[in-house]
Amino acid sequence: MRTAYTVDRIRAAEQALMAQLPPGTLMQRAAAGLATACADFLGGCYGAEVVVVAGTGDNGGDALYAGARLARRGARVSAIVLDQAKVHRGGVAALTTAGGWVLAPDEYATAIAGADLVLDGIVGIGGKPGLRPPADRVLDLVEEHAVPVVAVDVPSGIDVDTGETPARHVRAELTVTFGAHKIGLLVDPGATAAGLVHLVDIGLGPYLGEPDVEALQADDVAERLPEPSRASHKYSRGVVGVVAGSEQYTGAAVLAVGGAVAGPVGMVRYVGPPEPTRYVRARWPDVVCGEGRVQAWVVGSGLGDDPARADEVRRILASGLPVLVDADGLRHLPERCEGPVLLTPHEGELARLLGVEREAVTARRLHYARAAAARWNATVLLKGATTVVAAPDGRVRVNTVSVPWVATAGSGDVLSGVCGSLLAAGLDPLEAGSVGAYLHQTAGVLASRGGPITADDLARAVPAAYRMLLGGDE
């Protein structure tokens, strides 16, 4: 499990640990891990040109001490000190003793133009979003010359507790973070700004407590994937009902059912109009068409605007069974959901539900997913490159497995079927949403190895992803 914490929680853990250690120990641990990660990123230190951009406080100190270690390993390391009065003096001394040097302002452009790597030590977890002079002018040069950036702890300028980027910020290829993941490294748009994230263990673990955000890893998903026993039969494995598609959107029915069939349940029932029913029967002969007992419902994909379908959504939500609501079904939510409900909007759908602009949801994904979960008393799966799954009790998971080819028409229909199948197999909405999102994206990774994919390719790859996560063959 990858776990992330607020700045306050991390600060408290650091203080508790530092009280047990000699002064400066944590900074040296961080600098050692940072230097090693930079050397790996460069493919070796000798002769590499590294520019350290050092702000005030400990973040700048981490960067300067790491620069000193790189200089001792043969790199040519120079430093841009943004505030001479508040720079970490010990870090500057270590760098110059190791053979590095501090640049004058008229040397910045030449140094950055020739750099193999820029080390972003401008601000750390205590910084506010955005960059101020002279840091923004230095970033101009970095972007002009397209120099790779390694961020120290977090990319400078992001909101560390939310992943929001309301003002200018660093975009790193690698972020080396210390002690624990920060929420802004897992949630977009901050996660995108962070690039790859490498965690350096500095000993905070025993002091952190329960995480604020979680991200499942492959082993976590494997532990949660339902498996039949020797005594299982199709009913005991779970039956999921799918209400999707219309005369206009027949494909939504086929794809949602395809996602459900690919999941762990023993039976899928489809309920819909004659035309999509015909397509479902042709594509999935093992699916039972018509009403009957189910353990969970998937409703909404491709329903269109027929008032009768709206009544169907409301009836299913009133059943007390676990329900996944997607797409057109989201238009017909009650004032407050009762029972286990999983909502799966994309950013535009969530914006319409909450009465805000889509751009606002894009900029504040964690905030609005949490707000919707509280508003409707339901778990909300906000689709995107880093999917956010927020439960009404405040728990949050994000899915960091992502492949761009999954952004294709019908992909969300497949996801709804997969997650609904997990609901019917006994997982609660938070587990079904987070496990389903991971399984869906893993299927995307497998399906897209040759390039572009369709939603049907995605559905077909789900069983292979399931087998791979359980330790079987692809």
Q: Cα dist. 355→105, 201, 348 in Å?
A: 48, 42, 10
Q: Annotated binding site for K(+), which residues? A: 59, 120, 156
Structure token pair of residue 140: 């101009």
Looking at residue 382, its amino acid is L
Query: Are β-strands 323-326 and 267-270 bridged in parallel, bridged antiparallel, or unpaired?
Result: unpaired
Residues 6+ apart with CB under 8 A from 346: 382, 383, 384, 412
Structure token pair of residue 25: 């120990």
The 3-class SS string of 354-383 reads: HCCCHHHHHHCHHHHHHHHHHHHCCEEEEC
Looking at residue 40, its amino acid is D
Query: Are β-strands 213-215 and 239-243 bridged in parallel, bridged antiparallel, or unpaired?
Result: unpaired
C-alpha torsion sign, points 33, 36, 41, 47: positive
Q: Annotated binding site for (6S)-NADPHX, which residues? A: 58-62, 124-130, 153, 252, 302, 346, 413
How many whole angstroms separate alpha carbon 147 and alpha carbon 51? Answer: 10
Q: Annotated binding site for AMP, which residues? A: 383-387, 412
Q: Which of 151, 153, 152, 162 is nearest to 129 (CA)?
A: 162
Residues 6+ apart with CB under 8 A from 433: 342, 344, 379, 381, 389, 397, 419
Burial class (CB in 10 A: 0-12, 13-18, 19+), 1: exposed
How many whole angstroms separate alpha carbon 154 and alpha carbon 177? Answer: 6
Q: Annotated binding site, which residues? A: 58-62, 120, 124-130, 153, 156, 252, 302, 346, 383-387, 412-413
Q: Is the CB of residue 460 less than 8 Å from the CB of residue 453?
A: no
